[in-house]
A = this chain, B = another copy of it.
Amino acid sequence: LTGRSTSAIVSRVNDATGARARLVGAAARLFLTRSYHAVGVDELCTAAGVRKGSFYHFFPTKADLAKAVVDHHADALWARLRPAGTVASAAERLRLVADAIGDTQAGFEERFGKVVGCPFGNLAAELAAADEPLRLHLQAVFAHWQHRLTELCRQAADEGTLRAGTDPALLARILLAQYQGLILLAKTDHASAAQIAPALHEILDRYLPERVRP
């Protein structure tokens, strides 16, 4: 669903020495704290403690590594968005997504000393115009994310907690855009990650009038 190729999954399974996983981890960190273009293959290999031959064994190009980095972050995001043990209402789950977005950025802030941006949004802004396969890969992640939000908004409508007259698909788009925009602004002006979730809840207050927080 996220556009991950079968060969990438096979490579991951065959990563007995952990070289592939170390490359993905190093790239995830360096792309977030610098940018995709600012980090070269040599530096990625050094940071991962991997020889260049191994790099090209796993990733024919740096763009292929970027796709694996996207999949790595997407796996973590889908795991966070999975409903917890007890079945919550859709309204609660939309609130929990907002908290998860804020928590993820707070985690980056703790690790890197500042908000460093959304892993998907950063790569999309830098590469969507320049690298078509990577754009398609990121488009699939955003489409899946937006689809899950649309489903939650539809479910909230069914449960009678969504503001009457709201288009669930449009609200899903607005929420995803709000995540991306707030994170980008915090990255740019070094606002605290703690500002992100409250702004998202403010928007949700407008669409889920009966605010039920866990």
> Measuring CB to CB, which residues of chain A are less than 8 angstroms from any residue of chain B?
32-38, 114, 116-117, 121-122, 124-130, 135, 138-139, 142-143, 170, 173-174, 176-182, 184-185, 187-190, 195, 199, 202-203, 206-207
Contacts and interface: CB of A to CB of B under 8 A. Distances in A.
7 contacts: A35-B130, A37-B37, A38-B130, A128-B187, A173-B199, A180-B180, A181-B181
Contacts of A128: 117, 187-188
Contacts of A179: 181
Nearest to A37: B37
Contact of A185 (B117, B176, B206): B176
B142 A188 contact: yes
Contact of A184 (B35, B121, B199, B206): B121
This chain's copy number in the assembly: 2
Contact of A125 (B33, B117, B174): B117
A162 to B, nearest CB: 13
A181 B124 CA distance: 11
Given A174-B199, A177-B180, 11 more contacts: A34-B129, A34-B130, A37-B38, A114-B129, A128-B188, A170-B199, A176-B185, A177-B184, A180-B185, A181-B184, A206-B206
A185 B203 CA distance: 18
Contacts of A203: 174, 203
Contacts of A207: 206
A207 B125 CA distance: 29
A169 B143 CA distance: 31
